[in-house]
Amino acid sequence: MTATSKKPQLPHLVLGGELEDLSGTEFRDLSKVDLVGLYPDYESAKAAWKSKAQSTVDNAHMRYFIVHLHRLLDPAHGHD
């Protein structure tokens, strides 16, 4: 039997919405922010982010973000 190495859980949140100004990160309406989901690692969060970003390419004010929650939960060990 071989030992399996479990990847550390590094939670990431994907969210997005229409921005007030393209040079900032303030949303037009927080009640309409799209909470895409919580993901166990950066790779899966990036795949979700890319899918949502590509589906809204026609709206120039729509932006999606990846929030590195593990950095907020444990700033001393924040890595990807």
d(CA 33, CA 51): 16
DSSP 69: H
In the DSSP assignment, the letter for residue 19 is B
Residue 76: the pLDDT is 73
pLDDT digit string, tens, across residues 34-56: 999 999 999 999 999 999 999 99
Residue 73: pLDDT band by 50, 70, 90 thresholds? confident
H or E element that contains 29: none
Who contacts 26 (Cβ-Cβ below 8 Å, separation ≥6)? 19, 20
pLDDT for residue 79 is more than 70: no
